Amino acid sequence: MSRTLKGIQVSSGIGIGRAFLIDRRKIKVEKYSVDVRDIQREIERFHKALDLSKKQLLEIKEKLVAEMGKKGHASIVDVHILILEDEMLVREAMKIVEKEHVNAEWALRKVLTQFASFFEAIDDPYIKDRRSDIEHVGERILRNLVGKTISSLDSLDHDVVVIAHDLSPADTAQMHREKVLAFATDMGSKTSHTAITARSLEIPAVVGLESISVSVKTGEPVIVDGNDGIVIINPEPEEFRKYLDKQKHYKYIVSGLLKFKDQPAETLDGYHVELKANIEFFDEIPHVLSRGAEGIGLYRTEFLYMDRKTLPTEEEHFQIYKNLAEQISPYSAVIRTLDLGGDKITSKLHEADEPNPVLGLRAIRFSLKHQDLFMLQLRAILRASAYGKLKILYPMISGIDELRQAKAVLAEVKHELESKGIGFDKGIQEGAMIEIPSAAMTVDLLAKEADFFSIGTNDLIQYSIAIDRGNEHVAYLYEPLHPSVLRSIKKTVTAAHSQGIKVAMCGEMAGDPLCTLILVGMGLDELSMNASSLPVVKKIIRSIRYQQAANLAYCIMTLSSAEEIEGYVGREMGSLFPEFF
């Protein structure tokens, strides 16, 4: 019988295929005693699991090397193989089996727990990182001992619909290379980074389903409708047919919109809005250009630090930024400096656990504290700026002091490069993200010292309405059209224009077609979004007159609640664009 679940649609499109369950939870281990005569057999069983684990790791390594060359991800696998061969781990576990007459799983779990508390006591991020490596390897051996298949995206070799309790941004990053038709998770919300990555990779996705990971088994047929936030498990034949039709229709609409991709994003009366793309991965550039982007409005460089065990060197940063500058030419690219924190955590860089990571040492705060890392990144951006048009964007600026400090660090790096005779763009622009209410409230002061603004509505909404953007229980409060958010946007545009600087928006609101008219009418100079939203936003802009947009923006500022505004805008947009709303 078919079952239908409703969640939050985070990435459009329809994926139909067989489920592949990713189980990230720790494996449950039972304790049982082993007869003295069976100890040898228990030890052999353990060695078999070790051999199988090694075989699996070697296969993964081979696959990664074939796909990505020798370096990078494959070295993580080498570390895991070394751990697997570590005598201490094996010896300690065997000792427990022999002395306590217990099963190998139990013995291994005991050793892993001892290792974990030993590593926990050491206050060194590198060592802490090794701890998570050991845990990964330990879980692999345990799964092989109890005969559970290892569900990892590394081992995918056919098209699947990924189902998980939650996915880390690193998991989603891996989907980049894999054949993932769609994904659905228990956790998550529209602006969690997993959702953002899904949109930029154009993988249909529904999140916040609460219990999908316990409702589906690997291999069951599923439909993920990323347009309406619906997942159907074991669809009936007529549902299956209906969704195949819907999938075809969706593809038809998208291909129709793509006809405008090379036309300017201009209203009928010639008002131009720059439409740019947000990217997380450098190799998205050809794709975003094919969707009609006029440059990169946000490159989230923190993704350079994810899914790897060593920090990127200055040379690695430089090569990527240089390639970006060259490939995006004649357009420009905005490189946002490291914005780690919140749900974008990487074990390598993140220090002590913070009770409130979203309010913690993240983004520009982190960079200003770790100036060596910050300077390394700025040096690479400056050096790359000699090869094309690059701009620098500082994330999570809370007030003028942080902007001044960031600018002072850049000035120091410029000075250093100059003294060494290394070329860079002397007029490179420095922008501030407006995504914290304190910045929005003091935007007139920031406008005097920034070269441009970029409004990050994902965080601006999170901090204005005090809701965790990744928490599905408060997702209903996540209101881009809340009057407080609209007033902050308006205030930012007014302050920027009165100082003669441009204002962009790079939060997800910029790519929400329901908001396009309002944003154009409010005077945003640039909208930067995921590639998949570009065609529809462009089509809307090309179908209206500027005054229509300005009137709508004016009217909604007189309404009092998000609900009223959404209703009003929904009706207006529905009558103008019945094909989309």
Q: Which residue ranges make up the site for ligand PEP (CB under 6 A)?
A: 298, 300, 339, 435, 456-459, 506-507
Select 300 or 317, whichever has its Cβ closest to ligand PEP.
300
Rounded CA-CA distance 485/491 in Å is: 10
Lookup result for tokens 């656990």? 353
DSSP secondary structure string for all residues of 90-150:
HHHHHHHHHHH-B-HHHHHHHHHHHHHHHHHTS--HHHHHHHHHHHHHHHHHHHHHHTPPP
Residue type, 462: Q
193, 317, 350, 482: the catalytic one is 193
> Least distance (Å) from Mg ion to the CB of residue 469?
9
Instruction: Please list every residue from 457 through 496 that binds Mg ion, using CB under 5 A.
Output: 459
Rounded CA-CA distance 439/453 in Å is: 11
DSSP secondary structure string for all residues of 336-367:
EP---BTTB--TTT--S--SSGGGSS-HHHHH
Residue type, 73: H
Rounded CA-CA distance 28/402 in Å is: 47
Which one-letter DSSP state was computed for residue 33? B
Select 456 or 535, whichever has its Cβ closest to Mg ion.
456
300 binds, among ligand PEP, Mg ion, none (CB under 5 to 8 A by kind): ligand PEP
Tokens (6 digits) for 530: 């995921």
506 binds, among Mg ion, ligand PEP, none (CB under 5 to 8 A by kind): ligand PEP
Instruction: Please list every residue from 170 through 229 that binds Mg ion, using CB under 5 A.
Output: none
Helices 546-556 & 562-576, crossing angle to 10 degrees? 160
> Least distance (Å) from Mg ion to the CB of residue 91?
47
> Least distance (Å) from ligand PEP to the CB of residue 363?
8
73, 165, 482, 506: the catalytic one is 506
Select 103 or 458, whichever has its Cβ closest to ligand PEP.
458
Select 144 or 377, whichever has its Cβ closest to ligand PEP.
377
Rounded CA-CA distance 305/338 in Å is: 9
Closest residue to Mg ion using C-beta atoms: 459
492 binds, among Mg ion, ligand PEP, none (CB under 5 to 8 A by kind): none
Rounded CA-CA distance 190/208 in Å is: 9
DSSP secondary structure string for all residues of 394-450:
ETT--SHHHHHHHHHHHHHHHHHHHHTT----TT-EEEEEE-SHHHHHTHHHHHTT-
Rounded CA-CA distance 117/211 in Å is: 32
507 binds, among ligand PEP, Mg ion, none (CB under 5 to 8 A by kind): ligand PEP
Select 229 or 456, whichever has its Cβ closest to ligand PEP.
456
Rounded CA-CA distance 47/34 in Å is: 16
Select 213 or 532, whichever has its Cβ closest to ligand PEP.
532
Q: Applying CB under 5 A, which part among 166-174, 229-237, 250-258, 433-441 lies near Mg ion?
A: 433-441
Instruction: Please list every residue from 434 through 463 that binds Mg ion, using CB under 5 A.
Output: 435, 456, 459
Helices 534-542 & 237-257, crossing angle to 10 degrees? 60
> Least distance (Å) from ligand PEP to the CB of residue 336?
8
Select 292 or 456, whichever has its Cβ closest to Mg ion.
456
307 binds, among Mg ion, ligand PEP, none (CB under 5 to 8 A by kind): none
User: What is the rounded radius of gyration, in angstroms, for the C-alpha atoms of the chain?
Assistant: 26
457 binds, among ligand PEP, Mg ion, none (CB under 5 to 8 A by kind): ligand PEP
Rounded CA-CA distance 302/123 in Å is: 23
> Least distance (Å) from ligand PEP to the CB of residue 368?
17
The neighbouring-strand residues paired with 389 are 332
> Least distance (Å) from ligand PEP to the CB of residue 287?
19
CA 83 to chain centre: 29
Select 302 or 435, whichever has its Cβ closest to Mg ion.
435
139 binds, among ligand PEP, Mg ion, none (CB under 5 to 8 A by kind): none
Tokens (6 digits) for 200: 């930029």
Is 506 among the catalytic positions?
yes
Contacts of 262 (CB under 8 A, 6+ apart): 292
Rounded CA-CA distance 104/102 in Å is: 7
> Least distance (Å) from ligand PEP to the CB of residue 329?
24
Select 42 or 402, whichever has its Cβ closest to Mg ion.
402
Is 555 among the catalytic positions?
no
Q: Count of residues binding Mg ion (CB under 5 A)?
A: 3
Instruction: Decide if residue 511 touches Mg ion (CB under 5 A).
Output: no
Select 9 or 458, whichever has its Cβ closest to ligand PEP.
458
Residue type, 163: I
> Least distance (Å) from Mg ion to the CB of residue 409?
20
> Least distance (Å) from ligand PEP to the CB of residue 61?
32
> Least distance (Å) from ligand PEP to the CB of residue 491?
17
Q: Closest Cα to residue 195, out of 209, 182, 205?
A: 205
Residues known to be catalytic: 193, 506
Contacts with Mg ion by CB under 5 A lie at 435, 456, 459
